[in-house]
Amino acid sequence: MSRKRYPLRVARGARGIRAQDLRTLSRTAWWARRWIAALEAMRLGPRFGRGRQYAVAGQVTELELDGPHVEAVVVGSREAPYRLTLDFTAATGAARDRIADQISAEPMTLARLLTDDLPIEVEPLFRAEGVSLFPQAAPIGMSADGKPVYDVKMHCSCPDWARPCKHLVAVLLLLGEEIARRPATILSLRGIDIEDCGLQTEDSRLHAAAQPSQVPQNPQASIFSPQSSILKRLGPIPFWRGSVRCVDALARLYGHMQPVALDGANGKSIDLRE
């Protein structure tokens, strides 16, 4: 039994945003793989391939992100372009504050996010507040009129009744590329601005600096001991060639440095030649 095939009509000359790394997106960072897996779980069928072609061909001429709200314009087979909107379910109110506070409380987590890395520990923070970090294929609830409510509300002005249509898929794939490069984007889609977390951390540092300094009564109790949480945050050093563990070597080094640093903080003269 032969199947009738309908060629994909892609408008030429749109000169929009072109996808660059879709072939390798599923083989890059774990959050990029999870994004692609979330789209594949929607069982898009041919729409996934058609949306990929739209993304590669540059049919998305406008793409604007405003927190959880995304607006886009896609040139399709018709003369008039299609207008799309995506609204992601975001953490709000106290839930958003709790997530931001927990990110700010972990300097290493915040530092990794600011350097375009996404610690896997961030996802449970959203899950604990009832918000999924990645798009969900199944409905997350039912509306008052008995209709399913989805994690991402999608709208496209095209006549296709399926959601997401190929135009929405193209936008989602471009978002996936942006998230692969800058994972803080996915936090923004869920209502968390990582720059705000950084500002909260900086405010707390300024507040602490304004308080009278307190010197530890027992200088021997080093904050850089092998049991210190500061050293534990470093984690294992890859391809470490030292004869002792890296964390032990650093603890010994910092143990020698701390008394000198305390003397300097207290205004004592320091002779580094010793």
Burial status of residue 166 (CB atoms within 10 A of its CB: 0-12, 13-18, 19 or more): buried
Residue pair 66/90 in contact by the 8 Å Cβ criterion: no
Burial status of residue 133 (CB atoms within 10 A of its CB: 0-12, 13-18, 19 or more): buried
The whole-number pLDDT of residue 249 equals 66
Residue 205 lies in a domain: no
The whole-number pLDDT of residue 54 equals 93
Same domain (yes/no): 259, 150: no
Determine the structural domain holding residue 230 and report its residue range: 215-274
Same domain (yes/no): 192, 219: no
Higher pLDDT, residue 205 or 164: 164
Instruction: Give the rounded percent of residues in the chain with a pLDDT score beyond 70.
Output: 69
Mean pLDDT of 152-157: 95
Same domain (yes/no): 71, 132: yes
The whole-number pLDDT of residue 219 equals 41
Last-in-domain residue among 196, 225, 246? 196
- pTM tops 0.75, yes or no: no
Residue 230 DSSP label: H
What pLDDT band is residue 171 in, cutting at 50, 70 and 90? very high
Instruction: Domain count for the chain, please give it.
Output: 2
Last-in-domain residue among 162, 196, 230? 196
Give me 184's structure tokens. Answer: 């803080």
The whole-number pLDDT of residue 209 equals 45
The whole-number pLDDT of residue 242 equals 43
Same domain (yes/no): 97, 151: yes
Mean pLDDT of 114-125: 92
Higher pLDDT, residue 82 or 22: 82
- CA dist 170 and 174 (Å) reads 6
Same domain (yes/no): 44, 161: yes
Same domain (yes/no): 274, 160: no
Task: Examine the pLDDT at 138 and tell me if it is beyond 50.
Answer: yes
Residue 159 lies in a domain: yes
Last-in-domain residue among 196, 225, 241? 196
Q: Does residue 5 come out as left (phi exceeding 0), alpha (psi in the -120 to 50 range) or beta?
A: beta
Mean pLDDT of 218-235: 50
The whole-number pLDDT of residue 88 equals 97
Identity of residue 146:
G
Residue 8 lies in a domain: no
Residue 105 lies in a domain: yes
Same domain (yes/no): 167, 245: no
Same domain (yes/no): 161, 100: yes
Residue 14 lies in a domain: no
The whole-number pLDDT of residue 85 equals 97
Task: Examine the pLDDT at 31 and tell me if it is beyond 90.
Answer: yes
Same domain (yes/no): 57, 182: yes
- CA dist 173 and 63 (Å) reads 12
Which of 8-17, 104-113, 156-165, 254-263 is least confident?
8-17
First CA to last CA across the chain, in angstroms? 89
- CA dist 14 and 43 (Å) reads 28
**152 - beta bridge partners?**
88
Q: Which value, to the nearest 10 degrees, does the dihedral of the CA atoms of residues 218, 224, 230, 232 take?
A: -130
Which of 127-141, 187-201, 248-262 is least confident?
248-262
Same domain (yes/no): 187, 271: no
- CA dist 200 and 209 (Å) reads 14
The whole-number pLDDT of residue 256 equals 66
Same domain (yes/no): 44, 155: yes
Mean pLDDT of 168-181: 93
What pLDDT band is residue 21 in, cutting at 50, 70 and 90? confident
- Identify the three-state secondary structure at position 153: strand
Average model confidence (pLDDT) across the chain: 79
What pLDDT band is residue 266 in, cutting at 50, 70 and 90? confident
Same domain (yes/no): 220, 92: no
Q: Rounded to 5 degrees, what angle do the CA atoms 199, 202, 207 make? A: 125
- Please give the C-alpha separations between residue 222 and each of 96, 176, 203, 231, 259, in angstroms, as whole numbers: 35, 44, 26, 11, 9
Residue 12 lies in a domain: no
